[in-house]
Chains A and B, each alone.
Chain A
Amino acid sequence: MLSDNKRFYIITGKGGVGKTALSLALTQYLRSQGIKANYLNFTTAALERPKSDIQEVLQAKKMNVPFTALNLLDCASGYVAKKLKSQTIAKWVVKTPFFKALISMIPGFNYTIYLGQALEMLKEDPEQVFVLDSPSSGHALTMLEATKNFGEIFQSGLLFEDTQKMLSLLYSDHFTQINILTLPILMAVNEAMELKESLNNIAPVSTEVFCNNSFAGLKGVDDLELPEFLTKKLKTEQHIQDEFGQDIKSFVPHSLSNVDEQIIKDLIPFMDKLV
């Protein structure tokens, strides 16, 4: 078991870069190292959407990856109950139209509630590690910025104090690791670098960029005779290596499979770089 592993891995990046597959692979890798890691997903954002419906959670189940799915109203009512020391009042409060208005009007509120619950669970169980398959880039910023914004919004009161505690835990370097995933396309890499900068402006946390789906990383690719689009792909990757090599921690090879389970299995051997 790794002694210095972090507790909270946030996997983020633009949509379609492979965050879900990579988060599942990372969870499995950590498990193989004897770490009690769970895959975590916040896409249950819609109040009414049952969590069993979530595609990513179904994938985790199918692959036997331990996962944690949170329900927004349960999280909120659990929190209020703790603060007011009454389950009954808490259930009533979160069901009022006023509370629902609060959630729909302040879209980042749900992230803060989820994040608070996840951090609470990490505090309760010192062995627990989470791999958060976070929403695509704009939303990851929303999540972190929302939490920061709430500090400013609430100013005082229990929630304010708790938000401050949350932030200081979240922003401690040996606790959180943000991994930005990108693709070997110039524009995508540029965006990942911009995202890294914006995230670091909000959250002073160790942040690394990884390039997924690297065709150059495919074993034996150098000896192949390839059509134009693939030789150009390789050239682009070379260019990215030259220009951004230092800022990209690792290139994760392209998988030749089109089956999700196999793609995830192919990723596992490269996950040590993300830890």
Chain B
Amino acid sequence: MNLENRPFEIFSGTGGVGKTTLAASRAIHLAQEGSSVLLITIDPAKRLKEVLSIKDEDAGKVVSIKDPLGDGSSLALDVELMNPEETIKRVANQTESDDILNNRILKILGRPYGGLNEILAIIELQLNIAKNKYDVIVLDTPPGGHFLDFLESVDKIRAFFDQNFVEIFTYLGKKTLPSEGGRGKRFMTKIVSSGVKKLLDYLSKVTGASFVEEFLEAVYVLYQSKGVFLNALNLQKELQDENKTTWFLVTSVEQNKIKEAMELSEGAKALMNKKTWVILNKCLSDQLKDWEPSQDLEKRVKASFVEREQKHEEILTAKFKNILRFSEVLKMQPLSHVEELVSQWKNYKLNGVQKNG
């Protein structure tokens, strides 16, 4: 079993487990191995942006980075810092309509924390795949409170276009389906003149009439771009195809997130493929094994760290076959931190991946 030759690598996990640095180091490692790589990252810390030489004003653009580790090598990889606004613009380009850019509600929602991050990350991935330029695309997913937030976003798009739209349009009658050249206003008039008027009346009492109009327009505009969104849905099949996608679920010894790891394994079964790797990050066993504490407090400190790591090991090995272990990196500077992780990826490459008994 090895980690090569799959066009997409997706890093998923709760915040703070080291997902972004692992994804960045993985991308650098793959580039070192001779692959042409695109790293898509979302909201990394400023220091990591510095390591990757990404400037905030470059957000939403693919930037080519030469010699990321600063060791004089001829290494290069492409990096894109996601920006929801830019993704929305790209959706607009695909649909050859400016409406999506002009709707006030969509504009506000497209702000960096407007809440559309997860859905737009899927679309961004899809648009980059369509370029057909890279051997591997490494995607660092948005920090979710939950491991499965990112995966569920695919279902959110589906639910929105499959159920809600269909229901709304069925409700309005097939004749009101917006035609290619139709304008939002005309569509709205049709809606308002249909049976939903009552609902809209109630709603506009609460939200204000202008909001209802603009929201309907936003719905209409999104409907026009539905091709792009639904294309992104097809991606889900590829994400579940073990020959195309490698999933890395990152968790860390440092955190008491054992219950989440358990929940994760249940949810993951349905959504991910068999070649899902769990990364247990920040392992301390190497550092702990040679420590022989003498004082009572020292013994307690050691026991506490050992116990924590064992607990994680027990739960993960019971549920997952493929576990990668990364040792805690003690380097303080982000660049040397990433450098050390790159070398840890190398270990796996050389030795083949450990399998659990």
A interface residues with partner B (beta carbon < 8 Å): 14-17, 21, 43, 46, 55, 79-80, 83-84, 89, 93, 96-102, 104-108, 135-139, 141-142, 145-146, 149, 152-160, 183, 186-188, 190-191, 194, 218, 220-221, 223-230, 232, 236, 239, 256-258, 260, 263
| Cβ contact within 8 Å between A98 and B15 | no
Tell whether B319 is near chain A: CB-to-CB under 8 Å.
Answer: no
State the CA gap A167–B128 with chains docked (Å): 39
Smallest CB-CB separation from A220: which chain B residue? Answer: B297
Chain B residue contacts of A21, Cβ below 8 A: 256
Chain B residue contacts of A183, Cβ below 8 A: 16, 254
Tell whether B10 is near chain A: CB-to-CB under 8 Å.
Answer: no
Chain B residue contacts of A230, Cβ below 8 A: 301
Smallest CB-CB separation from A93: which chain B residue? Answer: B202
Tell whether B351 is near chain A: CB-to-CB under 8 Å.
Answer: no
25 contacts between A and B (CB under 8 A): A14-B143, A15-B14, A15-B17, A83-B205, A89-B202, A93-B199, A102-B215, A104-B156, A107-B116, A108-B109, A136-B145, A137-B143, A141-B113, A145-B113, A145-B114, A153-B214, A155-B208, A156-B209, A157-B210, A158-B207, A191-B45, A194-B45, A225-B295, A257-B304, A258-B256
The SS class assigned to the A binding surface is: helix
State the CA gap A141–B111 with chains docked (Å): 11
Given pairs A108-B109, A136-B16, A191-B46, 12 additional interface contacts (CB within 8 A): A14-B15, A43-B146, A93-B203, A101-B160, A105-B218, A138-B117, A155-B210, A226-B298, A229-B330, A257-B304, A258-B256, A258-B304
| Cβ contact within 8 Å between A187 and B334 | yes
State the CA gap A83–B260 with chains docked (Å): 39
| Cβ contact within 8 Å between B304 and A159 | no
Q: Which residue of the partner chain, among A16, A138, A141, A258, contacts B311 with CB atoms under 8 Å?
A: A258
State the CA gap A187–B47 with chains docked (Å): 7
Chain B residue contacts of A188, Cβ below 8 A: 16
State the CA gap A230–B108 with chains docked (Å): 46
Chain B residue contacts of A260, Cβ below 8 A: 256
Give the interface centre of B105, B203, B222, B307 by most chain A CB atoms within 10 Å: B203
- Cβ of A74 to closest chain B Cβ, rounded Å: 16
The SS class assigned to the B binding surface is: helix
Q: Which residue of the partner chain, among B104, B143, B206, contacts A136 with CB atoms under 8 Å?
A: B143
With A15-B145, A138-B143 already in contact, the answer to whether A98 and B208 are too (CB < 8 A) is no
State the CA gap A54–B204 with chains docked (Å): 34
B interface residues with partner A (beta carbon < 8 Å): 14-17, 21, 43, 45-48, 104-105, 108-109, 111, 113-117, 142-146, 152, 156, 159-160, 163-165, 167-168, 171, 196, 199, 202-211, 214-215, 218-219, 222, 252, 254-257, 259-260, 263, 284, 287-288, 290-291, 293-295, 297-298, 300-301, 304, 307-308, 311, 328, 330, 332, 334, 337
State the CA gap A10–B21 with chains docked (Å): 28
| Cβ contact within 8 Å between B219 and A145 | no
| Cβ contact within 8 Å between B297 and A159 | no
Chain B residue contacts of A14, Cβ below 8 A: 15-16, 143
- Cβ of A89 to closest chain B Cβ, rounded Å: 6
With A224-B298, A227-B291 already in contact, the answer to whether A105 and B160 are too (CB < 8 A) is yes
Smallest CB-CB separation from A86: which chain B residue? Answer: B202
Q: Which residue of the partner chain, among A102, A137, A190, A228, contacts B46 with CB atoms under 8 Å?
A: A190
- Cβ of A233 to closest chain B Cβ, rounded Å: 8
Chain B residue contacts of A218, Cβ below 8 A: 301
- Cβ of A55 to closest chain B Cβ, rounded Å: 6
| Cβ contact within 8 Å between B256 and A159 | no
State the CA gap A242–B111 with chains docked (Å): 35
Smallest CB-CB separation from A213: which chain B residue? Answer: B254
| Cβ contact within 8 Å between B206 and A80 | yes
With A98-B168, A226-B298 already in contact, the answer to whether A16 and B104 are too (CB < 8 A) is no
Chain A residue contacts of B330, Cβ below 8 A: 228-229, 232
Give the interface centre of A135, A154, A160, A258 by most chain B CB atoms within 10 Å: A258
| Cβ contact within 8 Å between A16 and B164 | no
Chain A residue contacts of B295, Cβ below 8 A: 223-225
| Cβ contact within 8 Å between A149 and B108 | yes
| Cβ contact within 8 Å between A55 and B143 | no
- Cβ of B310 to closest chain A Cβ, rounded Å: 9
